[in-house]
Amino acid sequence: MINSEGILKNFKGIIDSTLREGWQFSNANFTLQHHLDIYQLLAEIGIDYVEVSNPVKEEIGEMIKALVKTKSQNTSSTKLLAHVRNRREDIEKAIEAGVDGVNILCTADPERIAFLKFKPAEYLSSLEENIRLAKSSCLETRVSAEDFFNQPFDFILDIYQLATQLQVNRLGISDTVGKALPWQVEEKIKKLRRRFSVDLEVHFHNDFGHSISNALAALAAGANWVDTSLLGIGERTGITPLSALLVNLYSLDQEIASRYNLPLITRAENYVAEVCHIEVPINLITSINNGFAHKAGIHLNALINFGPHKYEPIPPSLIGNRRQLIVNSLVSGRTTEKDVNEFLKRFGES
């Protein structure tokens, strides 16, 4: 059973992947300046780690070096992690770029391993060499298994066992195709937690709409770190939205959420929406147009007579947003502009 006590006990932090996973969103064409701006916003929010793309491509490597320089100049505590393949050249480029750590992506897919011209034992041997190379350069190291819920579990365990023996910082669990359900997540994470004591990091895609529920289920079952992106953007339907995770943590325990600068969330997600030339999705609480818009007569009546708490899960100002009261529509009942003005005198827009 998912319980808040487990979530609060296990949660250690957030690894935001807007500059890696988010960059893979069809409308995201991030320039160097966008990278610098997004990193700065995430650092100001207080995100623990920012994941960037693979520096093996020269242009990306130069962007990452610029981020490393900015981080150093601003003495930011938000660390940079490069997402790399299980290849020596990728690790070497990450070392050259000066990042704080690497997230090594592995596959347990027999077809993929055969395509790479490896036998399973050879693939593990390659992984061992690459982990040792990363750790010899004092890089924090995470090893993840792509498409965790649909690939041979025994070989995934072999990957994780090797990584654990080599004392990596985290094991990564990815729902790459986005169709895992919360009870499946809970079951698998519990199995991993019983077997491994190392930190667990989860990465949930949102194809079936479960990314935030799966993240919470994973935390309750023993995971420690959650991958997010601003707006939840990424491949296809994206991953766990940063805003959704943070407001859920806030609703469970205000103290744990106070580690993060919540009033900046709306600004950050709206900035990314502007860069991507899209609207903030209507289902995100950081939507200025919809996040706190009240239109139905029964809602307006309750807000005006009893206060915003009747129909708002959190105050809009908590995340830097504002409320709207919409009248003069067929569904707005008898509420008038005068009623709205009186309400605003009492409660304001936030």
Which residue type, as a one-letter code, is found at position 335? Answer: T
- Tell the residue number behind the tokens 């150093």, with chain if given: 72
In a domain, 280, yes or no: no
Token readout for 88 is: 């020596």
CA pair distance 240, 213, nearest whole angstrom? 9
Mean pLDDT, residues 81-109 taken together: 98
Q: Residue 115's domain is classified under what CATH number?
A: 3.20.20.70
Residues 329 and 212 in one domain: no
In a domain, 307, yes or no: yes
Does position 40 have pLDDT exceeding 80, yes or no?
Answer: yes
In a domain, 144, yes or no: yes
Residues 130 and 82 in one domain: yes
Q: What pLDDT band is residue 2 in, cutting at 50, 70 and 90? A: low
Residues 335 and 186 in one domain: no
- Which sign, positive or negative, has the C-alpha torsion 211, 245, 243, 275? negative
CA pair distance 345, 338, nearest whole angstrom? 11
Residues 48 and 152 in one domain: yes
Nearest partner of 77 among 38, 47, 32, 33, judged by Cα = 47
Token readout for 131 is: 């982990």
Residues 315 and 270 in one domain: no
Identify whether the C-beta of residue 96 lies closer than 8 Å to the C-beta of residue 61. Answer: yes
Q: What pLDDT band is residue 346 in, cutting at 50, 70 and 90? A: confident
Task: Give percent of the chain with pLDDT exceeding 70.
Answer: 99
- Domain extent, residue 98, equals 4-275
Tens of pLDDT, residue by residue over 233-263, are 999 999 999 999 999 999 999 988 889 999 9
User: What's the start-to-end Cα distance of the chain, in Å?
Assistant: 35
Q: Which of 214, 245, 275 is the last residue of a domain?
A: 275
In a domain, 286, yes or no: no
Identify whether the C-beta of residue 307 lies closer than 8 Å to the C-beta of residue 294. Answer: no
Q: State the total domains in the chain.
A: 2
Residues 201 and 319 in one domain: no
- HSE (side-chain half, CA atoms, 13 Å) at 154: 2
Does position 38 have pLDDT exceeding 60, yes or no?
Answer: yes
CA pair distance 64, 49, nearest whole angstrom? 14
Q: Which of 245, 275, 305 is the last residue of a domain?
A: 275
- Tell the residue number behind the tokens 């008038």, with chain if given: 336
In a domain, 64, yes or no: yes
Residues 339 and 267 in one domain: no
Token readout for 204 is: 């949930």
Tens of pLDDT, residue by residue over 139-154, are 999 999 999 999 999 9
Q: Which of 248, 275, 302 is the last residue of a domain?
A: 275
pLDDT score at 8: 87
Taking residue 66's Cβ as centre, other Cβ atoms within 10 Å add up to 16
Residues 255 and 297 in one domain: no
Tens of pLDDT, residue by residue over 99-115, are 999 999 999 999 999 99
Token readout for 199 is: 């930190």
* Residues assigned a catalytic role: 299
Token readout for 344 is: 């605003």
Does position 1 have pLDDT exceeding 80, yes or no?
Answer: no
Q: What is the 3-state secondary structure (H, E, C) of the chain?
A: CCCHHHHHHHCCEEEECCCCCHHHCCCCCCCHHHHHHHHHHHHHHCCCEEEECCCCCHHHHHHHHHHHHHHHHCCCCCEEEEEEECCHHHHHHHHHHCCCEEEEEECCCHHHHHHCCCCHHHHHHHHHHHHHHHHHCCCEEEEEECCHHHCCHHHHHHHHHHHHHCCCCEEEEEECCCCCCHHHHHHHHHHHHHHCCCEEEEEEECCCCCHHHHHHHHHHHCCCEEEEEHHHCCCCCCECEHHHHHHHHHHHCHHHHCCCCHHHHHHHHHHHHHHCCCCCCCCCCCCCCCCCEECCHHHHHHHHHHCHHHCCCCCHHHHCCCCEECCCCCCCCCCCHHHHHHHHHHHCCC
Residues 243 and 170 in one domain: yes
